[in-house]
Structures are given as structure tokens and as C-alpha cells.
Structure 1
Amino acid sequence: MNMAFKKETFRDDYTFTNSPEAIRRFPFPFDKDEYMYSVNIEQHTKGVPGSVFENVIDLDEHYVAECEDRRITLEQDPDRCIALPHMMDAQWDMLELGMESLAQDFPEHFQLTKDGDKWHWINKPLGIDHTFIFGDLSTLPMEPFEFIGRQLQGDWVVMDQRDDDLFADMGIVTSQADWSLAFDAGMSFKEWHGPVPQANEMGIFERALKYLLHLQYGSPVRRLNWTMTVNPRLDTSPENYPVWGPDNVSVTADNVADKVFLRVELQTLFRLPRSNAMAFGIRGYLISVRDIATYPRWAKRLHRVMTNLHPDLSEYKGLTNYRQLVIDWLAPMDDGADIGEGTHPE
């Protein structure tokens, strides 16, 4: 895969943009005119070439810029990376998952050579060339989970399984949609998802937990989740709410198409081999309302989803201040004709 990594920022001057190819491969999450929470889990098998499902861990044109944004956030707040002491086997599991996946799927950018426990890792886009002993902390510049976590797009939470539950005991989270790793660390699966409206009343997370407890090594699964955000900012954490919160009231009829972004998470879950822990990847993708409108089918679908969205979900996702503006901007593109089911852009 020939990929040009873009120089761009996700804060302050917001130079982030999507190329036409990035728009086309965007994981548009709505296959119907209405949205409600569901388990919507499927096997994480390799998908169509060029899609975000093509590889085990997706990589795109924003890779270098996103890694730099993570570096900045961790420099400002080191507690965005947490690993409880009993999670050391899971740390090495994650390093193996990340390195093997990237080296296998993107060999022009990443190389992993093994000589027993002696590993040689090359990350060309980030200029990393490091030899270390797998299992020996002293041979890495930092703990293994943070070392590989700084080289992956998206956030990762690793859950320890015990007492018929999953506990968020490790994570590197710098691009979350208004939740806090420091607050959630150590929480059970149900506690972590407790604030989600309607879903708990419908028993969705209880069913999801039962399913995940039986997830097998070598059979990862995935789902899509979504919200919206103002400006293409990755770090919309509660800790930094004073920085990004005021943006929610800055949207007007004149700027809504360029300031409001659909934020979709490709959530992947992997059983890890040594620790039996579960890795939860939360890879975020951003696309402006204007870019969505380059595909009329997407514009119509988003208009209908926003119009039909339950008020509780609108409030939970933080859309209340600008939801109607999005609806109004998209309205002229919706002729009311049936567009069927599915997410294909055309």
C-alpha cells in the first residue's frame, strides 16, 4: 500500500483534512434512517481492500499526525496511560499484537525480526529502530504497553477478566469522546457503561458482557459506535473540557458544515494469549458534514438519523446545541425518496 502521511493538527489551528480516498473509506455507521443502540457485534475478519476493515489494525493518511497528537497529550497529562501492576503479561501481549499486525499488513512501513526473544522493531514513519528482549523491561525505553500504544492510531483499553466480569485495568486514551480513563480505571464492564441511556434499560450491555466473556483467542470481533464533535479535535476528554467545551456553542448556520464532524469509532476486541485479558481498540475517524455531503446517499441518511434521534441520545452525545443546525443544513439534500438499507456511499 502506497500511503502519504499528512502533516496536520487536531488542535488550535485545526489543519486536519480528509483526502477524497479517506472520505470514500470512511466507516459511515448508519444503515437505516433511524438509530438506536444495539450490540451490533460481528467477526473482525479482513474486509474489502481499501476499507477500514481490510487489516487487523487500520492505518491511514493521518497516522503520523495522530501519533504526534498523542505524544503532546501524554506530555501534558501522563495519566492518560495507565497500567495496573498485575497487567504486565497483558502489556507484552499488546506489544506483540501491535507489532505483528503492523509488520504483517504494512511491510513497507514496519518491520519485525525475531531471533528467539531478541526482537528488532523498525517503524519507518516515526523513525523508530529498536532492538529489545521480549519480556525484559530494561531493554525498552518505557513499559511495553506505552511503547506500542504511542505507535498505534486510536485508543486502547485492556480489560482483565475475573469474577465473571471485565475490568478496565489498563489503557492509553488520548482521543476519547468525553470520558476519562483516570476515572474509569479499575471499573467493571457494567460500571464503565453505566451512563449510556436506554441501552442499559434494554439489557444491551448485559448481553454484550455475556458474549465477550466467551470470546476466544484468534477470533476478534468489531462494532461501530458514533458521536459528533465540533472541530476536528481528538482530545475531547473531561479533563480538558474548558478547552473544547465552549466550541459547542460556536456553531452557526454559516459554519455548521465545516465545524461539525461525525466521529465514528471502529471498536475491536481481541482475546490476548498469555494474560487472557481482552484488548479493546477504539479507533476514531472524523469527517465534516460538508465532506459527508459529497455523497448524496450519506447526506440523506444523516439528515434522517439526526431528525429521528431520541432526545436522550442527543443529550448524551452532546449534540443538543447544534443538532438542529445540522438537520437544517442537510434538509435541502433529502428529497424524501427511499434509499434502502446499507452504508455504501453511492
Structure 2
Amino acid sequence: MSADTVARDLVRTFPFPFAGDTYRYSTNLEPARQSVQTPAGRWGDAVVHIDSGYAAELAERRAILSSDPSRMQVLPHMRPAAWDAMLTLMQELTLAYPDTMRLDREAGTFLWTNRRRGIEQRFVYGDPSTLPQEPLAFIGDQVQEDIVLLDQREGQLFVDAGLVSFASNWSFGFDLGMSFIEIHGPVPRVHDTGVIARAQKFLMRLQPDAPYRRTNWSLSVGRRLDLSTETYPDWGPERGRVLSVDDATFGAEVHLRVEVQHLVRLPESGCVMFLIRTYLLPLEAVAEVEPWRDRLMAVLAELPEDMADYKGFLAYRDRAVDWLAARKSVAP
């Protein structure tokens, strides 16, 4: 996808993740629902975000779940949390998109309307016979976010349910049932600095109606959302192939991949809902926004090698820096 064909709203609402010219892992948490102004537009008004990729991304999720149903799993003790998550997401959609989304409560039942999807569903909370799918599957087919549910017990958080179709170099099926600390074991530098321990303590203090958010980022090749370890044979070799393409193809193929991660304490179950919304913007589109181009170049050039390796782009990091520098030299 070239810069000319990137939908304008995808640039206007892109959550560029860098506040400075260097990057290190941090909790970087801030209250949700606060608008962030950027040189291209703004983002962050709501916990859930729908853009021009809505229909295509939901279709992609359905295809992934059809070929690999393990991408959605709910351990038995988390079924109440799945209902809690569904209702909370319906409320967030209603808040963000009142013209097309609506949740009404009528005499012990709920009526959910999603005009974008042509859905009008009456259901009884907690009664699976009143929904066409399990609650997490039903709402997961209406939001672009991946959904992870964390149970809090024994002084820790555990990943015990979720619907994750767009993982970035990790496996939801492998992580299911693991603790928050165990899952982050392979991440370089974070344990020495105490970032993960601090993050877990913060999450365990989350209060209902006070969601927070953070960003994460990487580079990836191609406009591919599903970078799970299960599909590595499909996308892993692309990271080497991109070294041999011409400059125009490199700028179109290499993407800045940003996750906006929302953290929400569910009011009924007390579990923590972790939402992951993935955004992709090709370098050629990033380079058209001068402050983004210069900052990304600085961050990539300074990033320690072990972090670039963990994020999966060490092989083509230097070329990305050179490519961005060349765009700077020819800018008017």
C-alpha cells in the first residue's frame, strides 16, 4: 500500500508513539479518553476506535478464527468475566459512536444495536442461549481491538481468557494460564529496571470507570496484522527479503506498527480487560509528516541492539534509518 493509497483517516488518527528521540521500555501509562494532538491530526478520544479498516479487519479476524479457533479461549472460571467484558465494550462503543451503537436495558433484558454491522440482538445477561455466539466471540466480531482478560488472584495477574487474532510475535494459546510476570520473561531490560513489577502493581490497583492506556511499537514488513508465532513461517522470511528490494518498495513494505493498549477494570467480575488495537503505517506515509520522519529516524538510530533484535527488525534497522535520512535530504 503506497502513501497515496493510505486512507486519510488512518494517517489522521495514527497514534505516533514517541515523545522524544530515544526509546526505552517503561510503563508509560496515562488516563484513557484523553485526546492527543499530532502533526497529522489526533487520536485517543475513546477506549475503542473504529476507522476505515473496520470491515476488512473484522473479516480478517473471522478468517483467522475459522482456521485457528484456539485464538479465542475462555477458561471455565472466566465465563462471568467474558460477559462483563462484552457488556463493558458495548457501553464503550455506545459512548464513542452513539449514532450507530446503542445499548438499551428493558425489563431484565438488554437490546444491543450495531448499525455498522446490521446487528440488533436482544439478550439476557449471563444466558448463553440468548446470543448467537459466546459473548467474547460476539463482541470480538464488532471491535477492531484484540481482547485479553486477566484474573487477579494470589497477589498476581493471570492471562485466563481472550480473543487475540493480531498478536505481534507472541502466542495467546501458549500464554494462556500464565502469570503476567511469566509472560514478560523474554523481554530484554524490563526486569532489571523493574518495569514489569511496577506495571503489575499498577494494574492490580486499577479501579472501575478509570481506564488507562499505553502504547507499544515495532517495525514490520507488509500490511499484515497477524504476526503470531503460530504463523511465523508465513511472515518471518519477509524480514530478510525486504533487504533486497528497491527503495520505493522498501518504503511501501516496511511499516511502523503501533499498539494502543487499554487497561480496564471490569465492574462485575473484577478482572482486568487488556485491549490491544494495532495500527500500521508504511514508512513512506510516516515520512510525509516531517516531525514523525525525523523522530522515528532518531529513535531507530539510537535504539540498543538487543531491543531492536527482540522487536524483530534488527536485520533491516540500519536500512530503515538510511531510508528515512534520504527522505530528509530530499525534502523541500
Q: TM-score, normalised by structure 2?
A: 0.93
Match among 39, 56, 62 for residue 47 of structure 2:
56
| Maintained 8 Å contact 1:40/1:223 | yes
In structure 2, what is the equivalent of residue 292 of structure 1? 286
- C-alpha separation in 1, matches of 2:2 and 2:241: 15
Deviations 1:200-224 (A, max 9, x none): 1211101111111111111111111
1:127 offset after TM fit, Å? 2.3
Find the residue that maps to 2:103 and give its secondary structure.
Answer: strand
Q: Give the equivalent residue in structure 2 for 1:20.
A: 8
Question: Aligned partners of 1:279, 1:16: CA distance in 2, in Å?
Answer: 36
Partner of 2:224: 233
Q: Which residue of 2 aligns with 1:198?
A: 189
Once the two structures are superposed, what CA deviation does each residue of 1:174-217 show, in whole Å capped at 9, x if it has no partner? 01101001000011010011111011121110111111111111
Q: Secondary structure at the match of 1:200?
A: helix
| 1:220 and 2:214 correspond | no
- Read off the aligned partner of 2:279 and give its amino acid letter: Y
Is 1:37 the counterpart of 2:61? The answer is: no
- Partner of 2:213, secondary structure, is strand
Q: Which has the higher helix share?
A: 2
1 CA distance for matches of 2:3 and 2:258? 19
C-alpha distance after superposition, 1:154-186 (max 9, x if no partner): 211100000110000001000110100100001
User: Contact 2:32–2:46 at 8 Å: present in 1 too?
Assistant: no
Q: 1:119-162 CA distances to partner (integer Å, 9 max, x unpaired)?
A: 12122222222211122111111211111112111211100000
Deviation at 1:24, TM superposition (A): 2.4
Unaligned runs of 5+ in 1: 1-12, 336-346
Deviation digits for residues 225-246 of structure 1 (CA, Å, limit 9, x no counterpart)? 0011100101111111111111
Question: Which residue of 263, 267, 273 corresponds with 2:261?
Answer: 267
Q: Distance in 2 between matches of 1:47 and 1:327?
A: 30
1:333 deviates by: 4.1
Instruction: Please give the root-mean-square deviation of Cα atoms over the aligned residues, in Å.
Output: 1.9
Partner of 2:100: 109
1:46 Cα deviation after fit: 3.4
Q: In 2, Cα distance between the equivalents of 1:313 and 1:326?
A: 15
Task: Please state whether the residue corresponding to 1:298 is helix, strand or coil.
Answer: helix
CA distance in 2, matches of 1:249, 1:165: 39
CA distance in 1, matches of 2:51, 2:173: 28
User: 1:201 aligns to what SS in structure 2?
Assistant: helix
Q: For the Cα contact (< 8 Å) 2:34–2:44, is it kept in 1?
A: yes
Aligned to 1:10: none
Contact 1:47–1:53 (CA<8 Å) still a contact in 2? Answer: yes
More displaced 10-residue stretch of structure 1: 111-120 or 33-42? 111-120
Change (3 A) 1:131 1:16: farther
Structure 1 window deviating more from structure 2 (203-212 vs 249-258): it is 249-258
1:104 to partner: Cα distance: 2.4
Counterpart Cα distance in 1 of 2:85 and 2:107: 18
Q: Shift of the alpha carbon at 1:334? A: 4.3
Q: Does structure 2 retain, via aligned residues, the 8 Å contact 1:256–1:325?
A: no
User: Aligned pairs, how many?
Assistant: 323
Normalized against structure 1, the TM-score is what? Answer: 0.89
**Gaps spanning 5+ residues in structure 2: where?**
none
Q: How many angstroms apart in 2 are the aligned matches of 1:157 and 1:114?
A: 26
Q: State the alpha-carbon separation in 2 of the partners of residues 91 and 233 from structure 1.
A: 27
Matches within 5 A, 1:264-343: 264-334=258-328
Q: Secondary structure at the match of 1:92?
A: helix
User: For 2:86 and 2:319, how far apart are their aligned partners in 1?
Assistant: 44
Amino acid at match of 2:303: L
